[in-house]
Chains A and B, each alone.
Chain A
Amino acid sequence: MKLVTAVIKPHKWEDVREALETFGVAGMTVSEVSGYGRQKGHTEVYRGAEYDIALVPKIRIEIVIDDADVDDVVGIVVKTAQTGRIGDGKVWVSPVETVVRVRTGDKDEAAL
């Protein structure tokens, strides 16, 4: 099992969810996060005073899936969230040891 974590632009999140659902991903955890990469932040001006705002709002999606689906899921996220401009985000994959469904106690693949 793998954990796929994607950090993407907020306005792309609905498209990504729809594409993943169509592919067959059963569930995910989504959080509103902020951060920065090469895009850095942006400047805002209030009554003539300019501020560098370091953090940019992003959406973080976390999905636990079968090893076999990893390439497809990563591909879907990249294809759907891409705008080609700086600040599109990142996707990374990490191994998962155990998953337990809280309601039934089912373990690992049965819990996905």
Chain B
Amino acid sequence: MDYGYHAWMLVSASLVLMMTVPALALFYGGMSRSKSVLNMMMMSFSAMGVVAIIYVLWGWSMSYGTFDPAQDIAMLINNPFENFGLDGISGQGYIFVGFQLTFAVITAALISGAVADRMKFSAWLLFVPLWVTLSYFPLAHMVWGGGFLSGVSNSLADLIFSGDGGAEVAPIDYAGGTVVHINAGIAGLLLAILLGKRLGFGKEPIKPHNLPLTMIGAGLLWFGWFGFNVGSIVFTGETDEANAEQFLSETSLVWLNTTVAAAAAILGWLLIEKIRDGKATSLGAASGVVAGLVAITPACGALSPVGSIILGLVAGATCALAVGLKYRFGYDDSLDVVGVHLVGGLVGTVGIGFLATSGGLFYGDGVKQLVVQVAVALFAMLWSAAATLIVAFGVKAVIGLRVDEDVEVDGIDFAEHGESGYDLGAAGSSRRSVLGGATASEKVKEGATA
């Protein structure tokens, strides 16, 4: 049992890592324009680089540490210095650090979809570590580290419906509806508003440049999500036998729920498209996959497979409608982080209150779970909004958020990274030179005489 579980966690962490690099980079990259595809993919790759490092330094300590209540600060964070650099964490525990690290990475990377084509790369590199420190690590501690959004005594749920030594009804967030998706969705919304619209938003066609990349990305995200959800099991048994039994039944349930919710969301999204636009699109199918996976993320351990199908259908249809909100309200959430992750995260988090086989309204267990789920979602949104605004205004004051107008017109790839994503012309478009000014042919000549 221990070995099997440990091996599965090694696989799970690796699967979640794949969700950011390359799955999310491909999913977003294909949806962006050809002149900014590299910048879009670089935001995922660089989130990997930055967040992985700081997670080891203070991320784990700030989120969980050794789950010691003495290190808890106001039920909001754990002491960031107690286990700084994983001091005091055993080698066996490293896989849990690794697994949680990959969650922090993808949450930050998800935000990048809202800021396509126009955010300074330096501003992104500064925003990401500050944002995960102020928004992600505290929310992870609050929800999963025994903090304010868990079910312990004096938590939010306990303040609403007080129970014996803790909340009567504990909030349910199996794998990150609040911590990951609502959190990233709020950050994307506010950052998109602060950055302003892309030039030509709502007027020029700003359409995806490579939908096959997006389809590949969506497929890889789905595959990686099995690590995300199925790896999120927390053991509750008193004995090894009880835990082994829980491992077998719970991982099976979560795998199946994850799959059928995504499948149903494809259909939900395509149905709305067919009715509204007349065509079922490939981008709609790819988006439906992600919307369903987002919604089932918090709910995958609490629903029956049929309940998961219902949740997936609702999520696919709701998100397909929600991606139109940005045109109505005039914020340029470029690749729909709000429409898919915020709305999908809310559908899942609140949907638990209706569909949870134990505690759900539809199962005759009253409204308490629903009330707790809504309260937790609202608190997470407020926390995320406050943290995002503090970080974004700070970065804006120090180095500015947005690239110059001519950079945006010419394409951010060349200005920020000195590259272009595609070079397909038969004649070629460049002359080779090396640093120092010598051309390639001169370089070859020098080599020959030497």
Q: Find out whether the CB atom of B281 lies under 8 angstroms from the CB atom of A46.
A: yes
Residue among B205, B281, B284 having the largest count of chain A Cβ atoms under 10 Å? B205
Q: Which residues of B contact A45 (CB under 8 A)?
A: 273, 277-279, 281
A105 within 8 A of B: no
Chain B nearest CB from A96 CB (Å) reads 24
Within 361-380 of B, Cβ neighbours of A (below 8 Å) are at none
Over the window 396-420 of chain B, the binary record of Cβ atoms lying under 8 Å from chain A Cβ atoms (1 yes, 0 no) is 0000000000000000000000000
Within 14-63 of A, Cβ neighbours of B (below 8 Å) are at 44-53
Q: Which residues of A contact B283 (CB under 8 A)?
A: 46-47
Q: A45-B279, A47-B323, A47-B336 are in contact. Are A52 and B205 (CB under 8 A)?
A: yes
Total number of B residues with any Cβ neighbor in A under 8 Å: 19
Within 188-217 of B, Cβ neighbours of A (below 8 Å) are at 205, 207-208
B6 within 8 A of A: no
Q: Among B279, B320, B327, which residue has its beta carbon within 8 angstroms of that of A49?
A: B327
Q: Find out whether the CB atom of B276 lies under 8 angstroms from the CB atom of A51.
A: no
Q: Find out whether the CB atom of A50 lies under 8 angstroms from the CB atom of B277.
A: yes
Residue among A45, A47, A52, A53 having the largest count of chain B Cβ atoms under 10 Å? A47
Closest to B320 in A: A48
Q: Find out whether the CB atom of B207 lies under 8 angstroms from the CB atom of A46.
A: yes
Over the window 327-339 of chain B, the binary record of Cβ atoms lying under 8 Å from chain A Cβ atoms (1 yes, 0 no) is 1000000001001
Q: Find out whether the CB atom of A47 lies under 8 angstroms from the CB atom of B287.
A: yes
In the assembled complex, the Cα of A49 lies from the Cα of B205 at a distance in Å of: 9
Helix, strand, loop or mixed for chain A's interface? strand
Chain A nearest CB from B60 CB (Å) reads 37
Q: Which residues of A contact B336 (CB under 8 A)?
A: 47
Q: Which residues of A contact B69 (CB under 8 A)?
A: none
Q: Find out whether the CB atom of A46 lies under 8 angstroms from the CB atom of B208.
A: yes
Q: Find out whether the CB atom of A48 lies under 8 angstroms from the CB atom of B323.
A: yes
Q: Find out whether the CB atom of A48 lies under 8 angstroms from the CB atom of B205.
A: no
In the assembled complex, the Cα of A51 lies from the Cα of B200 at a distance in Å of: 13
Q: Which residues of B contact A44 (CB under 8 A)?
A: 205, 207
Within 47-82 of A, Cβ neighbours of B (below 8 Å) are at 47-53
B237 within 8 A of A: no
Q: Which residues of A contact B281 (CB under 8 A)?
A: 45-46
List 19 A-B residue pairs with CB atoms under 8 Å apart, sorted by A's residue number.
Answer: A44-B205, A44-B207, A45-B273, A45-B277, A45-B278, A45-B279, A45-B281, A46-B207, A47-B283, A47-B284, A47-B323, A47-B324, A47-B336, A48-B276, A48-B321, A49-B327, A50-B277, A51-B205, A52-B205
With A46-B207, A47-B324 given, name 18 new contacts (CB 8 A). A44-B205, A44-B207, A45-B273, A45-B279, A46-B208, A46-B281, A47-B283, A47-B287, A47-B320, A47-B323, A47-B336, A47-B339, A48-B276, A48-B320, A48-B321, A48-B323, A48-B324, A51-B207
Which B residues have a C-beta under 8 Å from some C-beta of A?
205, 207-208, 273, 276-279, 281, 283-284, 287, 320-321, 323-324, 327, 336, 339
